[in-house]
Amino acid sequence: MDEVIQVTQWLSSITPRKKAKLFFFTTHADAPSPMVGSNDVDTHEETQLPLATTVALHNFKNIDEFLKKKVNTFSCYNVIENEITKTDYEYLRFYSACKYLDVVPPFLDLEKISAIQNKFEMTDEERDYRLLLDSADLVLEKVCDSLKPAGVSQMWTALRKDRNLIRGVKTIDIIGFFVDPNPTGIKECLFFFIVRFLQKADKINRVNTNRLERLIAQCDESSSCEEGKTIDFIIDSLRFYPTELYPFGFCLIMCVIEGRDGAMQEIEKTMEISRHLGMITHTEKNPTKETIELVKKELMKPKYQFYSSFTCWFMSHGDSNSMVLADGETIEREWFLTSFPDISTFQLKPKVFFMVSCRGANKFSLKGDEFEGQSATCDYYDIGSALIRNRMLDITDSVRDISYVQPMMDTLVAYSTILDHLSGRANTHGSIYVDRACVLMSENISRGRSLTEILEHLSQDLHEILQETMDEDRIVYKQACHYDSFFRKTLKLPYTRHPKEDVHSAPQ
């Protein structure tokens, strides 16, 4: 069959709502970097003009033309070995969006997709199409689905009133002030236009969504929300780090085994909970400084831009400032923690570090006959007011900026013990902190808990446990853990999303 006819038939089989979503997912806001074939040309017209004309004319002609052009480009594209190009990214995004929406063109060359994945050095686990979807766009899709046409229209009216923001923007004028978003697919086009416009204007990104939240907050709840949804519910959904679908993120496990009883148990537990959470996991046993440098270099590869989060477990001996590596050398804890968050592939994404080591030799000792012989270190241990607001500073958009970000932002560091103190171990089970952390995370999957809630529960749980030193003094003591957070959103634990257990139903 002629390719033109095939493309026409494919487009005619897609509903207007899915066309709007396919366009949105395909015109991803964050340009990949570094890449070959990108000349930093402003894509304002390519990403916003088709949406604007569709809303203004109630006609999907320009979006159809855009999708046809994409399909033709991919059809003629020759995959070049070793060089990752802009088209490679676009091809993968397009394929994953089609797969997610259940509109994969029957003529799409899947061998090319496999060849592109080879260039990215993707493992079998990483070839799951869900990895290629941008989780921030999926959250925005859900926000759109929660709003009625009237709600999006009210957002548009509120946006139009911000004259400083819209001044001189031609696509704004194309749509006009009054919009009828009721025809099928028009609500989606208008909402996605608003989102892409705010992104291009550097007003929102995957972390900073305040400007979008303020537009939603101006909507009338009775007329703007779909059944069962509220304005607060919709805004709250934007206040979590976007980690939709599988995988939840990439997990790096580094564990020094030499001289650490129970270390293999630590690895098994952290691997098990990471996979249970839906993470793709990599383990480094007995790391050295060279190992760490190689891992950092690996994480800078382009494929890691597709991940939604980064988690690292580092388990070793240590003191107040440093950690002991497998070869006996030490590294400064601060150096380790500041070097990983600066990796560009995980910018604007949550980064969590579990630092499991002693930070000194001090102990919170417990004295008295009732504590003798009681500890978990032994082998038997098992697993607004408007008035107030009016008196505050009026922070205008002119003094806000989301372009420059401190490297440590969006990072959380969880320590197994406080400064200058021991981190306890069981004789055969390894770190008690690791054990309790994995148990609590496992118990709270599917309960909608955030990571910080679980860490607070872990702090309570761990501090109840009596431990005993393994020297001849046999001192009974307690351990206190804590965390430092630079998070700007809340990181929720996912529902169980192991690939074999996930049942995906396509959006409407």
The residue type at 13? S
pLDDT at position 330 is: 94
What whole-number distance in Å separates Cα of residue 504 and Cα of residue 508?
A: 13
Cα-to-chain-centroid distance, residue 92: 18
Phi and psi at residue 178, to the nearest 5°: -100, 130
How many other C-beta atoms can be found within 10 angstroms of the C-beta atom of residue 38? Answer: 14
- In this structure, what token pair is assigned to residue 274? 């990471």
CATH number of the domain located at residue range(s) 249-364+406-486 in this protein: 3.40.50.1460
Cα-to-chain-centroid distance, residue 222: 32
**Which residues, 6+ apart, have CB-to-CB distance to 111 below 8 Å?**
none
Question: What does the buried/exposed string (b/e) look like for 314-353 if buried means 16 or more CB atoms within 10 Å of the residue's CB?
Answer: bbbbbeeebbbbbeeeebebeebbeebbebebbbbbbbbb
Domain positions in the chain: 1-28+43-239, 249-364+406-486
What whole-number distance in Å separates Cα of residue 388 and Cα of residue 42?
A: 43
How many other C-beta atoms can be found within 10 angstroms of the C-beta atom of residue 137? Answer: 24
pLDDT at position 405 is: 84
pLDDT at position 163 is: 87
Question: What does the buried/exposed string (b/e) look like for 177-191 if buried means 16 or more CB atoms within 10 Å of the residue's CB?
Answer: eebebeeebbbbbbb
pLDDT at position 9 is: 94
Query: Residue 142 half-sphere exposure, CB side, CA atoms within 13 Å?
Result: 16
- In this structure, what token pair is assigned to residue 124? 């079998």
- Angle, helices 432-444 vs 451-463, to 10°: value is 130
- Angle, helices 61-76 vs 3-12, to 10°: value is 140
Number of helices (H), then strands (E), in the chain: 21, 13
Vertex 286: Cα angle to 283 and 290 (nearest 5)? 90
The DSSP output letter for 127 is G
Q: Biggest alpha carbon distance in the chain?
A: 88
pLDDT at position 495 is: 65
pLDDT, one tens digit for every residue, the chain (508 residues): 678 889 999 999 999 999 999 999 998 755 444 344 444 444 556 789 999 999 999 999 999 999 999 999 998 899 887 789 989 999 999 999 999 999 999 988 999 999 999 999 999 999 999 999 999 999 999 999 999 999 999 999 999 998 888 888 888 989 988 899 999 999 999 999 999 999 999 999 999 999 999 999 999 999 999 999 999 999 999 999 998 778 889 999 999 998 888 899 999 999 999 988 889 999 999 999 999 999 999 999 999 999 999 999 999 999 989 999 999 999 999 999 988 877 888 999 999 999 999 988 886 666 665 555 555 444 333 334 455 455 555 677 777 888 888 888 999 999 999 888 888 888 778 899 999 999 998 888 767 789 999 999 999 889 888 888 777 778 888 899 999 999 999 998 876 554 544 434 444 4
Cα-to-chain-centroid distance, residue 452: 16
- Closest C-alpha to 434, from 249, 264, 258, 250: 264
> Dihedral of CA 115/118/122/124: which sign?
positive
Cα–Cα distances (Å) from 108 to 25, 112, 241, 387, 476, in that order, read: 17, 9, 33, 59, 66
